[in-house]
Amino acid sequence: QLQLQESGPGLVKPSETLSLTCTVSGGSINSYHWGWIRQPPGKGLEWIGTIYYSGSTYYNPSLKSRVTISVDTSKNQFSLEVSSVTAADTAVYYCARYSNSAGDYWGQGTLVTVSS
């Protein structure tokens, strides 16, 4: 059974860079697209971006200038960086596998709070 697990700091200071990693187990990261989605407390889902295992990336236009998604196939991991964070970036961040143009496997999510 495929499993995804997000990891990274739960607290980030304003203006710094948020960094998260998603570790994929029970299957290979090779093939499929892999994505990041976030959900501010009490609000809806926001698609951040996806990466193909070969490295091609696609980003939400509203976040594109601050977001980088990368993949490390040797570690079966993919990562997210969001630069110059503000309180508005406080959210639960999910990683997911995209198959048939939908997120079919999701991580449990990790809360990242932006605060000094």
Strands (E), 1-116: 3-7, 11-12, 18-25, 33-39, 46-52, 57-59, 67-72, 77-82, 91-99, 102-106, 110-114
Report the alpha-carbon distance of residue 36 to residue 21 in Å, rounded.
10
Q: Does 88 bind another protein (CB under 8 A)?
A: no
Kindly state the smallest distance separating residue 29's Cβ from another protein, in Å: 19
Q: Which is it for strands 57-59 and 67-72: parallel, antiparallel or unpaired? A: unpaired
- Out of 9, 45, 70, 72, the only residue in the binding site for another protein (CB under 8 A) is 45
Q: Does 40 bind another protein (CB under 8 A)?
A: no
Ramachandran area for residue 74 (φ above 0: left; ψ -120 to 50: alpha; else beta): alpha
Neighbour count for residue 68 (Cβ, 10 Å): 16
Kindly state the smallest distance separating residue 16's Cβ from another protein, in Å: 26
Q: Does 50 bind another protein (CB under 8 A)?
A: yes
Q: Does 44 bind another protein (CB under 8 A)?
A: yes
Kindly state the smallest distance separating residue 62's Cβ from another protein, in Å: 7
- Out of 8, 27, 40, 109, the only residue in the binding site for another protein (CB under 8 A) is 109
The site for another protein (CB under 8 A) is made up of 35, 37, 44-47, 49-50, 58-62, 94, 100-104, 106-109
